[in-house]
Chains A and B, each alone.
Chain A
């Protein structure tokens, strides 16, 4: 087993906290890891990244060679594009859909999101929505860590002692809130992964997830949903912009009709 991740985002988004969580999960599991990170000047609102490698064998290079990353995990959607030369064919992109527009030449909407959905395997996560719903607006990084987890050799519950160590001093409710956003992120990741695995395109899967209430996503429904997404009701639903709906049997039925 080896899994190479490029972690990306903007300085201040908590990239290094994601790295800390995954590092410790790896070592608790007896896995090897190496994780190269950026400190100093770049952390002041600039592009930041970390190379994170997990394996059950000794790891040589601290840097992931180009074309070898299994995943780009980004807390900002434009930042994904900066590191595409690292993503191996078949690798997955998991990105927050919330832009950080702190540069004057940030591309016009919806260019950045459309570009992500044009990638062969991309998972878009409404991390801001999920974090805000949990009254944890600064925990978008934790949502993203959760969304990546279905691809990793970890269960969400394995993060509990690490989260406890990170946030325990702030009280049990902070620990619980972080665990709940990790869980919510996991659902988005697992649900979209299941759709992609069934052959649904990144664009269709992404638009479906954007129409559904993220807290209700059921990865087990992905198989049934994959079969109906080409129908006229489903197309109309995907193109719509109304309120998000619950991912349940009624929704499946309405799309199938």
Chain B
């Protein structure tokens, strides 16, 4: 008997995975994916599921692949840029294939609400030659996840679930159904598949290539790839994921044109051809990059057909899809609204919390760098990226997890001095250690400030892996000269003393590390 639950898109995938009998959940926090893992974590004990955050997405993916090797089901969650970190494991798992069902849920962030780019994970699935499912709503997120495990095990391949922010972070009621038990431990007896020596990998890659027609057949027959007719054949519409809801919305639920809705990849080429036979013009409304549109256009277009979408400007290339964009693309009039009664509404960007230690670090660094006018820090992914804005104006870069350290080292190699980097404790654990080890090995003249606030603050104070004395020991273990490892508790009140500590290290022509240790105010608020 179906029960109804109130779930975010992220949580609908999580519950689908739990009901599919997963034995493990793996991931690293990242908006908009965080709530998926946290939902499983909240039920882990009662469900007997292993759910502990991993140091980074690559570790998470490999742990899940190990669980799959052992015959059991698991879910991995990460944000889109996290898949760049996990890409080595992910792409190769397409070649090894899987044993127990493996579902990778990636939450893309079109519009960059909380990200550095809006890369489209459907390309990763295509690149790895594995199926990708893309739910249109919370119910599909649950249903698709349930079926994704059977699909994964029947194909012996990982399956990608692609979410976008507006589904990941939108709540609705979801009907659930009877759950499956966890799978027994059942490791393979033939170790060929998982050992990608060239001799084996060539065979396995051939197997993957040979499976592609089967993946195509499944897409053609998929219940999530639907071609519906409409009375007005002046044009047809191709739409993916949640954009189908915007399309329905702007037409009041009755779209007058033929519509191909795509929710399973590889792209169902037969259904696209069937739509093209009905109409002379197709509008492609894609949430994400123009993946489908580029495939249809190819290099020379389709003879006698007009293809509209992101590539001809019918739909904006950048930013997230909205009902208003869909309405405009379809030539529908813009709705009237009440006029704002102010001419100018000042922006209100996010900022560091009152009492945040990062603000004090920025003030101290600012003063310590004063002999070098205009100099700022290489920085990284976390709350402290807000140090870019006034009044801090303390950083001059943020690229990817760990880049602060390696970029500072590279700049130092070029003669840039003092090269100063700032990274949080969790980001350091995620991707900073290898960069620091490299810098130390060649005594690169740079100073790393590790902002140890004891938590993964930006995504909601998840547990960090290297804080306090553990962090000191890790840095020592990486080989830092103990004379150039300093631990301070940053406070404006101790400005003069702490500025001196920093400036001495900035002047030192070798690798130095300063750990600025002071707990996150959010952590204190939550009694952590």
Which A positions have Cβ atoms within 8 angstroms of B? 10-11, 19, 23-24, 27, 32-47, 51, 59-68, 78-79, 81-82, 84-89, 91, 102-107, 111-112, 115-116, 118-120
Q: Report yes or no: B334 in contact with A34, Cβ–Cβ below 8 A.
A: no
CB within 8 A of B335: which of A10, A35, A59, A66?
A: A66
> Using Cβ atoms and an 8 Å threshold, which residues of chain A touch B337?
66-67, 84-89
Say yes or no for B299: interface residue by CB 8 A criterion. no
Q: Report yes or no: A36 in contact with B351, Cβ–Cβ below 8 A.
A: no
Which B positions have Cβ atoms within 8 angstroms of A? 4, 6, 31-32, 34-35, 113-114, 137, 166-167, 169-173, 242, 245-246, 248-250, 253, 322-324, 327, 334-342, 345-353, 383, 386, 390, 458-460
Q: Report yes or no: B338 in contact with A87, Cβ–Cβ below 8 A.
A: yes
> Which single residue of chain A is at the shortest CB-CB distance from B247?
A60
B121 to chain A, nearest CB (A): 18
Q: Report yes or no: B348 in contact with A88, Cβ–Cβ below 8 A.
A: no
Q: Report yes or no: B338 in contact with A46, Cβ–Cβ below 8 A.
A: no
Q: Report yes or no: A23 in contact with B6, Cβ–Cβ below 8 A.
A: yes
CB within 8 A of B336: which of A23, A43, A89?
A: A89
Known contacts A40-B114, A62-B170, A79-B348; 5 further A-B pairs (Cβ under 8 A): A33-B173, A46-B348, A67-B334, A67-B335, A103-B346
> Which single residue of chain A is at the shortest CB-CB distance from B383?
A44
Q: Report yes or no: A106 in contact with B253, Cβ–Cβ below 8 A.
A: no
Query: How many angstroms between the C-alpha atoms of A63 and B113 in the bound complex?
Result: 15
Known A-B contacts A44-B351, A61-B249, A84-B339; the reply to A34 vs B346 at CB < 8 A is no
Q: Report yes or no: B245 in contact with A88, Cβ–Cβ below 8 A.
A: no
Query: How many angstroms between the C-alpha atoms of A191 and B242 in the bound complex?
Result: 40
> Using Cβ atoms and an 8 Å threshold, which residues of chain A touch B34?
39
> Using Cβ atoms and an 8 Å threshold, which residues of chain B touch A120?
338
> Using Cβ atoms and an 8 Å threshold, which residues of chain B touch A111?
342
Which 10 residue pairs of A and B lie closest in terms of their CB atoms, listed nearest first?
Answer: A67-B335, A40-B31, A46-B350, A40-B114, A65-B323, A61-B249, A84-B340, A36-B170, A44-B350, A62-B170
Q: Report yes or no: A43 in contact with B350, Cβ–Cβ below 8 A.
A: yes
Known A-B contacts A44-B350, A44-B386, A102-B348; the reply to A107 vs B166 at CB < 8 A is no
Q: Report yes or no: A81 in contact with B349, Cβ–Cβ below 8 A.
A: no
Complex A-B: 27 CB contacts under 8 Å: A33-B171, A35-B172, A36-B166, A39-B32, A39-B34, A41-B114, A41-B386, A43-B350, A44-B386, A45-B348, A46-B348, A60-B248, A60-B249, A62-B170, A63-B166, A64-B323, A78-B348, A81-B345, A84-B339, A88-B335, A88-B336, A105-B346, A106-B346, A107-B342, A107-B346, A112-B342, A119-B341
Query: How many angstroms between the C-alpha atoms of A63 and B248 in the bound complex?
Result: 12
CB within 8 A of A37: which of B169, B242, B327, B459?
A: B169
Query: How many angstroms between the C-alpha atoms of A60 and B390 in the bound complex?
Result: 41
Q: Report yes or no: A41 in contact with B323, Cβ–Cβ below 8 A.
A: no
Q: Report yes or no: A40 in contact with B32, Cβ–Cβ below 8 A.
A: yes
Q: Report yes or no: A78 in contact with B114, Cβ–Cβ below 8 A.
A: no
Q: Report yes or no: A34 in contact with B345, Cβ–Cβ below 8 A.
A: no
> Using Cβ atoms and an 8 Å threshold, which residues of chain A touch B6?
23-24, 27
A80 to chain B, nearest CB (A): 9
> Using Cβ atoms and an 8 Å threshold, which residues of chain B touch A66?
322-324, 334-335, 337
Q: Report yes or no: B322 in contact with A63, Cβ–Cβ below 8 A.
A: yes
* Residue among A24, A64, A66, A112 facing the most chain B CB atoms (10 A cut-off): A66
Q: Report yes or no: A61 in contact with B323, Cβ–Cβ below 8 A.
A: yes
Q: Report yes or no: B335 in contact with A68, Cβ–Cβ below 8 A.
A: yes
Q: Report yes or no: B170 in contact with A34, Cβ–Cβ below 8 A.
A: yes
CB within 8 A of A89: which of B171, B338, B383?
A: B338
> Which single residue of chain A is at the shortest CB-CB distance from B522?
A44
> Using Cβ atoms and an 8 Å threshold, which residues of chain B touch A23?
6, 171
Q: Report yes or no: A65 in contact with B338, Cβ–Cβ below 8 A.
A: no
> Using Cβ atoms and an 8 Å threshold, which residues of chain A touch B35?
39
> Using Cβ atoms and an 8 Å threshold, which residues of chain B touch A68?
335
Query: How many angstroms between the C-alpha atoms of A64 and B31 in the bound complex?
Result: 22
Query: How many angstroms between the C-alpha atoms of A107 and B345 in the bound complex?
Result: 9
> Which single residue of chain B is at the shortest CB-CB distance from A93?
B338
Q: Report yes or no: A91 in contact with B250, Cβ–Cβ below 8 A.
A: no
Query: How many angstroms between the C-alpha atoms of A10 and B246 in the bound complex?
Result: 27
Query: How many angstroms between the C-alpha atoms of A107 and B335 in the bound complex?
Result: 29
Known A-B contacts A27-B173, A91-B338; the reply to A40 vs B323 at CB < 8 A is no
Q: Report yes or no: B170 in contact with A37, Cβ–Cβ below 8 A.
A: yes
> Using Cβ atoms and an 8 Å threshold, which residues of chain B touch A40?
31-32, 113-114, 458-459
CB within 8 A of A103: which of B324, B340, B342, B348?
A: B348
CB within 8 A of A63: which of B32, B323, B336, B458?
A: B323
> Which single residue of chain B is at the shortest CB-CB distance from A114?
B341
Query: How many angstroms between the C-alpha atoms of A251 and B39 in the bound complex?
Result: 54
Query: How many angstroms between the C-alpha atoms of A34 and B322 in the bound complex?
Result: 15
* Residue among A19, A45, A65 facing the most chain B CB atoms (10 A cut-off): A65
Q: Report yes or no: A27 in contact with B340, Cβ–Cβ below 8 A.
A: no
> Which single residue of chain B is at the shortest CB-CB distance from A104?
B390
Q: Report yes or no: A41 in contact with B350, Cβ–Cβ below 8 A.
A: yes
> Using Cβ atoms and an 8 Å threshold, which residues of chain A touch B170?
34-37, 51, 62
Known A-B contacts A35-B171, A42-B113, A67-B337; the reply to A61 vs B348 at CB < 8 A is no
Q: Report yes or no: B169 in contact with A36, Cβ–Cβ below 8 A.
A: yes
A111 to chain B, nearest CB (A): 7
Q: Report yes or no: B345 in contact with A118, Cβ–Cβ below 8 A.
A: no
Q: Report yes or no: B335 in contact with A38, Cβ–Cβ below 8 A.
A: no
Query: How many angstroms between the C-alpha atoms of A82 and B341 in the bound complex?
Result: 10
> Using Cβ atoms and an 8 Å threshold, which residues of chain A touch B350?
11, 41-46
Q: Report yes or no: A81 in contact with B340, Cβ–Cβ below 8 A.
A: yes
Known A-B contacts A11-B350, A36-B169, A39-B31; the reply to A82 vs B113 at CB < 8 A is no
Query: How many angstroms between the C-alpha atoms of A9 and B12 in the bound complex?
Result: 27
> Using Cβ atoms and an 8 Å threshold, which residues of chain B touch A91?
338
Q: Report yes or no: A118 in contact with B341, Cβ–Cβ below 8 A.
A: yes
> Using Cβ atoms and an 8 Å threshold, which residues of chain A touch B341?
81, 84, 115-116, 118-119
Known A-B contacts A33-B172, A39-B169, A42-B113; the reply to A65 vs B348 at CB < 8 A is no
Q: Report yes or no: B4 in contact with A27, Cβ–Cβ below 8 A.
A: yes
Query: How many angstroms between the C-alpha atoms of A66 and B246 in the bound complex?
Result: 12
Query: How many angstroms between the C-alpha atoms of A254 and B31 in the bound complex?
Result: 57
Q: Report yes or no: B342 in contact with A62, Cβ–Cβ below 8 A.
A: no
> Using Cβ atoms and an 8 Å threshold, which residues of chain B touch A105?
346
Query: How many angstroms between the C-alpha atoms of A18 and B270 in the bound complex?
Result: 47
